Amino acid sequence: MPCTVISGAFWGDEGKGKIISYLALKDKLDVCIRTGSVNAAHTVWYQGKRYALHMVPAAFVHEKCRLLIGAGTNVHVGKFLEEMETTKVKNRMGIDEQASIIEEKHSLQDKTSAHLKGIGTTGWGVGPAVEERVRRTAKVARDIPELKPYLTDAAKEVNDAIDAGRNVLLEGTQGLMLSLYHGTYPYVTSRDTSASAICSEAGVGPTKVGNVLVVFKSFITRVGAGPLPGEITKEESLKRGWFETAAGTGRERRSAPFSFELAKKAVMMNSATQAAVTKLDCVYPQCRGARKYDELAKEAKQFIDDIEKKTGVPVALVGTGPEALDIIDRRK
Ligand code: IMP
Ligand code: MG
């Protein structure tokens, strides 16, 4: 059973956390490996509780899923330990021994650099931590005593699981438009966010990937500075029910209508095989909580249809509410 990669299409915050938590429960995922870093928050609503996860994979909701953090990631030790408590996953969590460590000094550098302030970074220090990794002076997980119980060879675990036919998911963070290479440079994050980069951070080669599921939100948001085509005012955003604040930093998100152009680009650069569309209920309120395609209003179905026609990939999953199970599953 080849593995699935989940990647974001826009500027992050497409609702990847929700999609991953659904797949974890529904498909009984065996292994989920998180990539990226602490700057990204994945929101999971499960059994009436909300989790904004910066380190622990969103698949934690399935209690049998092995949870991993890849070698290409940056680990914030304090946040990692804290989240393991809230999610109670100590006995099934592993960190690649070569994952980089984010230190307080990185966050300070991030917050005090005028250049990075102009970009509007999250302030977690990911850019400065990546710089240290490139200089080959960064600490890695095996240098940190508190992480000893969780150290593993994550790439080997993931590849062994794929070879054994187990159900494996590679959890991407952020979105294509924040990619260091392909996004709205210089208003981007400090890594490539495409499906290929997600594989690389996890240590999986392209021939082992069977599915690339790109996640679209029904409208677009971004936090921080940089271009946002079609941006509407905060007032208009509130009126439409699109106004959001960031799960991680609490900052106000800017918003814009869905863009088929950007969606096409994201499908192309991720070699996506499938798409998920989240928050359909924010654009078509009568869809809220729907779990069957036939329950959708005509215009909502038309929107999904347009996405499929214009991007060329099937919309396999449609999110209709915040809970993990508020999904229309159109997979065969
Ligand atoms: P950094 O990743 O903290 O360096 O921030 C660089 C840019 O990426 C800023 O515009 C951030 O708001 C944005 N960014 C970083 N992580 C996320 C995320 O998880 N969701 C949305 N935006 C993000
Ligand atoms: Mg987020």
The string of pLDDT tens digits covering residues 207-262 is 999 999 999 999 999 999 999 999 999 999 999 999 999 887 889 999 999 999 99
Give the residue whose CA is nearest to atom 8 of ligand 1. Answer: 189
106 is catalytic: no
Judge if the beta carbon of residue 21 lies within 6 A of ligand 1: no
Mean pLDDT of the chain: 97
pTM score of the predicted model: 0.97
Tell me phi and psi for residue 255, to 5 degrees.
Answer: -140, 160
In whole angstroms, what is the distance from residue 43 CA to residue 157 CA?
26
Judge if the beta carbon of residue 168 lies within 6 A of ligand 1: no
How many other β-carbons are positioned within 10 Å of the β-carbon of residue 231?
A: 15
pLDDT digits (tens, 9 = 90+) for 297-331: 999 999 999 999 999 999 999 999 988 899 999 99
Helix extents (H) in 136-251? 154-163, 195-202, 234-240
Residues 6+ apart with CB under 8 A from 212: 4, 5, 7, 195, 270, 271, 272, 273, 274
186 cis-preceded (ω within 30 degrees of 0): yes
pLDDT at 1 over 70: no
As to burial, measured by CB atoms within 10 angstroms (0-12 exposed, 13-18 middle, 19+ buried), residue 102 is: buried
Give the residue whose CA is nearest to atom 17 of ligand 1. Answer: 40
Judge if the beta carbon of residue 174 lies within 6 A of ligand 1: yes
Where residue 13 falls (left for φ over 0; alpha for ψ -120 to 50; beta otherwise) is left
pLDDT digits (tens, 9 = 90+) for 110-134: 999 999 999 999 999 999 999 999 9
